[in-house]
Structure 1
Amino acid sequence: MSTLISEIDARTRLAGANQMELLLFHLGTQELFGINVFKVREVMKLPQLTRVPEADSRVVGMANIRGTMVPVIALKRSLGLGEHDVDLARPDAKENGILIITEYNASLQAFHVAAVDRIIRTSWSHIKTPPPLVRENNKGAVTAVTMLDSGRMVLILDVEKLLSDICPRPDEEVYAGVTTKPELKQKTVLYADDSAVARTQIRKALEKLGLQFVQTTTGKEAWDYLQQLARHSAEEGLAQVQHINMVLSDIEMPDMDGFTLTKQIRSDPRLAHIPVVLHSSLTGTCNQDKGRQVGATDYVTKFDPKLLGETVMRYIN
Structure 2
Amino acid sequence: MNTKEILPKILETGANELEIIDFRMHEKLEDGSVYEWILGVNVAKVKEVIQKPESIFKTPGLPPEVEGVSKIREDVVPIVNLARWMNIKEPEDKKGKYVIVMEFLREIIGIVIHDAKRIRRIKWTDINKPPASIDEKLGGKVVGVIEVEGGKLLLLLDFEGILDELGMIKVFHIDEAQEESSSEEKYNILILDDSPVARKIIRDILEKDGHKVFEVQSGIEGLKFLEDMEQEAKAKGLDITDKIQLIISDIEMPGMDGLTFTKKVKEHPVFSKIPIVINTSLSDKATVDKTKLVKADAHLVKFDTKDLLHIVHQYAIKK
Equivalence map 1:203-218=2 (5 Å): 203-218=203-218
**Could you state the TM-score of these two structures normalised by the residue count of structure 1?**
0.86
Q: Which amino acid aligns with 2:167?
A: C
Asked if 1:64 is matched to 2:71, the reply is yes
Asked if 1:40 is matched to 2:46, the reply is yes
Given that 2:229 and 2:240 are in contact with CA atoms closer than 8 Å, whether structure 1 keeps it comes out as no
Q: C-alpha deviations, 1:61-81, integer Å up to 9, x for none?
A: 222212321111100111222
3-state SS of paired residue (2:21): strand
3-state SS of paired residue (1:213): strand
The residue that corresponds to 2:196 in the other structure is 196
Residue 315 of structure 1 and its aligned partner are, at CA, apart by: 0.9
Structure 1 residue runs of 5 or longer lacking an equivalent are 1-9, 89-95
Given that 1:275 and 1:296 are in contact with CA atoms closer than 8 Å, whether structure 2 keeps it comes out as yes
Whole-angstrom distance in 1 between the partners of 2:107 and 2:170: 19
**Could you state the TM-score of these two structures normalised by the residue count of structure 2?**
0.85
The residue that corresponds to 2:33 in the other structure is none
Q: Which amino acid aligns with 2:175?
A: A
Q: Which amino acid aligns with 1:22?
A: I
Distance 1:184 1:144, change over 3 A: farther
Asked if 1:126 is matched to 2:126, the reply is yes
Asked if 1:314 is matched to 2:314, the reply is yes
Distance 1:23 1:191, change over 3 A: same
Q: Which amino acid aligns with 2:70?
A: A
What is the aligned length?
299
Equivalence map 1:1-317=2 (5 Å): 14=11, 16=13, 17-29=15-27, 30-54=36-60, 55-82=62-89, 85=92, 96-130=96-130, 135=135, 137-168=137-168, 175-179=174-178, 181=182, 183-185=184-186, 187-238=187-238, 240-316=240-316, 317=318
Residue 292 of structure 1 and its aligned partner are, at CA, apart by: 1.5
Given that 1:178 and 1:205 are in contact with CA atoms closer than 8 Å, whether structure 2 keeps it comes out as no
Whole-angstrom distance in 2 between the partners of 1:297 and 1:65: 35
Q: Which amino acid aligns with 1:206?
A: L
Residue 241 of structure 1 and its aligned partner are, at CA, apart by: 4.5
Q: Which amino acid aligns with 1:21?
A: E
Whole-angstrom distance in 2 between the partners of 1:232 and 1:272: 17
Residue 105 of structure 1 and its aligned partner are, at CA, apart by: 2.1
Percent identity of paired positions between Structure 1 and Structure 2: 30
3-state SS of paired residue (1:256): coil
Distance 1:12 1:80, change over 3 A: farther
Residue 182 of structure 1 and its aligned partner are, at CA, apart by: 5.7
The residue that corresponds to 1:93 in the other structure is none
Q: CA RMSD in A?
A: 2.6
Distance 1:233 1:134, change over 3 A: farther
Residue 178 of structure 1 and its aligned partner are, at CA, apart by: 2.9
Distance 1:131 1:277, change over 3 A: farther
Higher relative contact order (CA 8 A, sep 6+): 2
3-state SS of paired residue (2:307): helix
Whole-angstrom distance in 2 between the partners of 1:210 and 1:148: 45
Residue 281 of structure 1 and its aligned partner are, at CA, apart by: 1.0
Whole-angstrom distance in 1 between the partners of 2:102 and 2:234: 46
Whole-angstrom distance in 2 between the partners of 1:79 and 1:11: 35
Whole-angstrom distance in 2 between the partners of 1:106 and 1:308: 14
